[in-house]
Amino acid sequence: MSRTYGNFIDGEWTDSQSGETFEVTNPAAAGEVVSVHPASSEADVEAALDAAVAAQDEWASTPGPSRGAVLREAGNNLEARKEEATEVLVREEGKTRSEAGGEVQRAIDIFHYYGAKARDVGGTVKSASAPGKDLYTKHEPLGTVALITPWNYPIAIPVWKLAPALAAGNTAVLKPASEAPGVVSIVLECLDHAGLPAGVANVVTGSGSEVGGPLIESEHVDGVSFTGSTAVGTMVAETAAVDLTRVQCEMGGKNPTVVMPSADIEDAAETVGVGAFGTTGQSCTATSRAIVHEDVYDEFVAAVSDYAESLVVGDGLDDPDVGPHVSENELSSTLEYIDIGSAEGATLEAGGGRLSGDDYDDGYFVEPTVFSGVENDARIAQEEIFGPVLAVVEAESFEDALDLANDVDYGLSASIVTQDLSEGKRFVNEVEAGVAKINEKTTGLELHVPFGGYKDSSTNTYREQGDAGLDFFSSVKTIYENY
Ligand code: NAD
């Protein structure tokens, strides 16, 4: 059963001005159209921006606690629709029911978190250098912001941008990824039913070039928050820089887990396996490199290969361990990287192919795949694959492992598995990544601490989430008051 969605502009659900639409199909059964969305263009973007600009002053002057009350109510509304949102997410994006349910819960929690944080938006008072003088800062909203999001966390990422943007008093136009935009419509309905004034949050669906392009180029946009690939993000950052528009881009990763001899190898294999194959490897923080000390290398390769082979792959609605790829493009790209790995001389230890048979032929299913004997300069050890493919690289020592971990253009998330505290502490101090973990997988984030990357994973301008989420969406004014 397919559902038709609209753009949400100035508090109304509308078609694109051209009347054009696009379809989203089920990644587990590609013939099945699950939803139809407006294929918008510049005229729709302009209408959304006009509405957002018109709503700006009133929303900015709405007290923080009142803005927060709307966000909290939106979280309550989403909670009441959790099952529905989970199903829409699975049918559009393909992840498993458990993964999708966890993601919807994350969105609910983010609304509640920033609903409370909206009370704290303010500033700080400092001691002035003279009597009869007050010196303090005041946080003001940027104005109207553009939010551009990827398909792999189609509800969590839009909400982790929208909630702090609105809490800080901004109005917003959001462009979700075309692979899975349906859950964003549910989010906007939840905000609308919570009493969000018309025009404060708007959604325009369509292609990156037709909708994303005009959005980031518009003179009405005072801030751009983008999450997606490094290739597109770099272009977004360059475009925003032309007008000196504040911009943050969070992008790709090539995340390592280092495994040291003191680790329990079965546990380490599971830590790496969950990070590598969960969400079908389609997380920016997915573990795509295991860098393993030579003393435990063979044991680890055997254990992680067994783990990969034990996973049940299937339709996300049946809640298997691993769902399909989101699209034919992503499937083809992963299969191409598997060919590249073999051609580069790595040893295929597990998986390595597209799944076939009655349960699989209509979907984009690929086997969880492990390569051993991977050189760190190989393409499968350097480039983001964004699929369930793990490259296992051998290290001679802790220092060697650290060098290998850092010898990559990306720097998003990194972890080490060890019982040696000194190794753990040195690792988190010296690894070049925005998130560093000891004895934990590279995936999985807490919502109340900053998140973002180093190197080519980020513009490294601002962090997202926690207090940092509000910082991006606020300007700081410094006030000198003499009396
Ligand atoms: P993508 O870069 O292809 O698209 C991201 C968004 O940008 C989409 O909404 C797309 O329509 C839009 N877009 C495309 N071309 C555009 C243009 N010319 N102008 C403006 N907007 C444009 O990325 P994707 O395939 O949707 O997502 C996967 C990527 O996202 C991976 O690289 C992954 O690592 C990254 N990601 C990063 C994080 C993070 O926080 N670091 C989180 C999730 C995903």
Alpha-carbon distance 189 to 5, whole Å? 11
Residue 250 C-alpha to ligand 1 middle, in angstroms?
9
181 CB less than 6 Å from ligand 1? no
Alpha-carbon distance 435 to 383, whole Å? 19
The pLDDT of residue 169:
98
Q: Which amino acid is at 50?
A: D
What phi, psi does 357 have (nearest 5°)? 115, 175
**Which two tokens mark 477?**
């004014």
Q: How many CB atoms lie within 10 A of CB 163?
A: 30
Q: Confidence band (pLDDT; 50, 70, 90) for 157?
A: very high
Q: Which amino acid is at 347?
A: T
Q: Is this model's pTM higher than 0.85 or not? A: yes
370 CB less than 6 Å from ligand 1? no
The answer for residues whose C-beta is within 8 angstroms of residue 334's C-beta and 6 or more apart is 281, 325, 366, 385, 386, 387, 388, 389
Q: Which of 37, 251, 328, 451 to mutate to test the pocket of ligand 1 (most atoms within 8 A of CB)?
A: 251
Q: Confidence band (pLDDT; 50, 70, 90) for 341?
A: very high
Q: Are 176 and 154 in contact (CB under 8 A)?
A: yes
Q: Confidence band (pLDDT; 50, 70, 90) for 466?
A: very high
Q: Which of 218, 229, 247, 445 to mutate to test the pocket of ligand 1 (most atoms within 8 A of CB)?
A: 229
Q: Does domain 3-251+458-482 have CATH number 3.30.428.10?
A: no
Fold for domain 255-438? Aldehyde Dehydrogenase; Chain A, domain 2 (3.40.309)
104-153: per-residue pLDDT in tens? 999 999 999 999 999 999 999 999 999 999 999 999 999 999 999 999 99
The pLDDT of residue 184:
98
| Mean pLDDT within 171-197 | 98
Q: Does the pLDDT value for residue 1 go beyond 80?
A: no
Q: Are 355 and 365 in contact (CB under 8 A)?
A: yes
Alpha-carbon distance 191 to 165, whole Å? 13
Alpha-carbon distance 355 to 314, whole Å? 10
**CA trace torsion 284, 340, 379, 435 (10° rounding):** 20
Q: Which of 157, 227, 288, 435 to mutate to test the pocket of ligand 1 (most atoms within 8 A of CB)?
A: 227
Q: Does the pLDDT value for residue 60 go beyond 90?
A: yes
413-428: per-residue pLDDT in tens? 999 999 999 999 999 9
The pLDDT of residue 337:
98
The mean pLDDT of the chain is: 98
Widest distance between CA atoms in the chain: 81
Q: Are 78 and 186 in contact (CB under 8 A)?
A: yes
Residue 253 C-alpha to ligand 1 middle, in angstroms?
12
Only one residue has tokens 């708007």, namely 202
Parts of the chain belonging to CATH 3.40.309.10:
255-438
The pLDDT of residue 30:
86
**Which two tokens mark 379?**
């393409």
Q: Is 85 strand, coil or helix?
A: helix
Q: Does the pLDDT value for residue 264 go beyond 80?
A: yes
DSSP 8-state code for residue 409:
S
Alpha-carbon distance 454 to 431, whole Å? 10
Q: Are 172 and 45 in contact (CB under 8 A)?
A: no
Residue 227 C-alpha to ligand 1 middle, in angstroms?
5
Taking alpha carbons only, the member of 203, 253, 211, 245 closest to residue 225 is 245
303-333: b (≥16 Cβ within 10 Å) or e: bbbebbeebebbbbbebbbbbbbbbeebbee
Parts of the chain belonging to CATH 3.40.605.10:
3-251+458-482
Q: Which amino acid is at 276?
A: A
210 CB less than 6 Å from ligand 1? no
The pLDDT of residue 164:
98
Which of the residues are catalytic? 284
Only one residue has tokens 């820089």, namely 241
Strand partners, 391: 289, 371
Q: Does the pLDDT value for residue 233 go beyond 80?
A: yes
207 Cα nearest atom in ligand 1: 11
Q: Confidence band (pLDDT; 50, 70, 90) for 287?
A: very high
Alpha-carbon distance 440 to 245, whole Å? 37
**CA trace torsion 29, 34, 36, 39 (10° rounding):** -40
The pLDDT of residue 322:
98
